[in-house]
Amino acid sequence: VNTSGAVLGLDLGGTQIRAAAVMPDGELLDRRSAATPHGSGPGAILDACARLLVDVRDSLPADVAAGLAAIGISSMGPVDPWRGVVVDPPNVPDLRDAPLAAEVERRLGLPAFLDRDTNVAALGEHWMGAARGHDDFLYVTVSTGLGGAIFREGSLLMGPDGCAGELGHVSLMPFDGPICGCGGVGHLEAISSGSGIARSAAAAVAADPSCSPFLAARAAPAAAAGGVRGAGGIGRISGRDVADGEAAGDEICHSLMERARRAFAIACVGWVHAFDPDLIVVGGTLAERQGDRWLDPAREEVARTAFRVPAARVKIVAATLGSDVGLVGARPLVAARTTARTAAGAAG
């Protein structure tokens, strides 16, 4: 694979599919996006992915299109990165065991490489973002879920199954904590992610509707329109609603957000001890909207309670690539995999 030209990037998320060509300098050409089809089976999603990639390829300047070498794919996890299969995504059951990379490869006639979104994001931030020049860092995304990636000595730490780096699924409240989307008790994701915060808020309002006037009001229009309490009403409360409630002075929202920031800060101390990273790069819509309000408690907790030497080294910083990160990361993903393939070929 010649990686001196452009590569095609594909970013498959639970609500949106995005595609673009990624140039050698990181520029994105001919970005396109479509809603992720739900409920129509895996074929509809694979069709949508292939159609976006074909549309991008067909609209590129001829010389760029002629030099296309490969496709890099960022997918919601969990995935089998080496077989290029989306394994069992909780929010898109249609994609269970879908051979995404092989299908895209067949339909586009280009080799395709796939990894889970957080690993691709870490590659993107390392190449063009907040982790440029750093070979030992953690990437954490705080949005609907809470995911991570571990970058060690210049490459991703994969683990034998490609599953390493799930930093959100470690328990901080093992005895009385909220249940995680994965079934675990008191996982960081259940406490500090948007979906975890929302579930705890919904439980509080269900137990006592008068506890939060703000959340009761947020839930009300949907409840009135949808009818069924719990499905259309408090079930619609989002992490964003809780953050808005805190800004509006609501007590319950404030305590849930405080708990989320505090758990994240304590998790950072554990990561500093476990990995001795240069950086913890924090992305994801929830953390990005919170900014330093989210990062400062983590910085302070690490400075106050972590071992002195790694605490003095680590910097906790915001990711810089935003929603482009899954596309930008497609290029270093292709480069890393083709290097590995060449090395394996030479060794074998």
**Residue in 17, 108, 123 with CA at minimum distance from that of residue 65:** 108
Phi, psi of 159 (to 5 degrees): 80, 160
Cα–Cα dist 326/330, whole Å: 7
Task: State in Å, rounded, how far the first CA of the chain is from the last one.
Answer: 18
Closest distance of CB 186 from Zn ion, Å? 9
CA dihedral over 88, 91, 95, 99, signed as positive or negative: negative
Is 261 among the residues that bind Zn ion (CB under 5 A)? no
> 81 and 101 in contact (C-beta within 8 Å)?
no
What are the residues whose beta carbons fall under 8 Å from the beta carbon of 174, sequence distance 6 or more?
Answer: 185, 186
Is 184 among the residues that bind Zn ion (CB under 5 A)? yes
> 314 and 272 in contact (C-beta within 8 Å)?
yes
Is 148 among the residues that bind Zn ion (CB under 5 A)? no
Closest distance of CB 193 from Zn ion, Å? 9
Helix, strand, or coil (residue 131):
coil
Closest distance of CB 170 from Zn ion, Å? 8
- The nearer residue to Zn ion, 18 or 187, going by C-beta atoms, is 187
> 49 and 10 in contact (C-beta within 8 Å)?
yes
Query: Could you tell me how many residues of this chain bind Zn ion (CB under 5 A)?
Result: 5
Cα–Cα dist 48/94, whole Å: 13
- The nearer residue to Zn ion, 182 or 206, going by C-beta atoms, is 182
Residue nearest to Zn ion (CB): 180
Cα–Cα dist 298/326, whole Å: 25
Helix, strand, or coil (residue 136):
coil
What element of type H or E holds 241? helix 239-247
Closest distance of CB 169 from Zn ion, Å? 4
- The nearer residue to Zn ion, 81 or 168, going by C-beta atoms, is 168
Closest distance of CB 149 from Zn ion, Å? 16
The one segment of 124-132, 185-193, 216-224, 259-267 that binds Zn ion by CB under 5 A:
185-193
Closest distance of CB 255 from Zn ion, Å? 22
> 216 and 205 in contact (C-beta within 8 Å)?
yes
- The nearer residue to Zn ion, 187 or 331, going by C-beta atoms, is 187
- Lateral strand order in the sheet of 112-116: 28-35, 16-22, 7-12, 71-75, 112-116
- The nearer residue to Zn ion, 72 or 147, going by C-beta atoms, is 147
The one segment of 56-64, 65-73, 87-95, 186-194 that binds Zn ion by CB under 5 A:
186-194
Question: From the list 182, 185, 211, 303, which residue makes contact with Zn ion (rule: CB under 5 A)?
Answer: 182
Residue 174 burial (10 A CB sphere; 0-12, 13-18, 19+): exposed
Closest distance of CB 128 from Zn ion, Å? 30
What residues from 213 to 252 belong to the interface with Zn ion (CB under 5 A)? none
Question: From the list 116, 126, 187, 236, which residue makes contact with Zn ion (rule: CB under 5 A)?
Answer: 187
- The nearer residue to Zn ion, 146 or 268, going by C-beta atoms, is 146
- The nearer residue to Zn ion, 101 or 180, going by C-beta atoms, is 180
- The nearer residue to Zn ion, 44 or 173, going by C-beta atoms, is 173
The one segment of 2-10, 106-114, 183-191, 279-287 that binds Zn ion by CB under 5 A:
183-191
Closest distance of CB 247 from Zn ion, Å? 28
- The nearer residue to Zn ion, 182 or 211, going by C-beta atoms, is 182
Q: Virtual CA dihedral for 75, 81, 86, 90, nearest 10 degrees?
A: -70
What residues from 152 to 181 belong to the interface with Zn ion (CB under 5 A)? 169, 180
What residues line the site for Zn ion (CB under 5 A)? 169, 180, 182, 184, 187
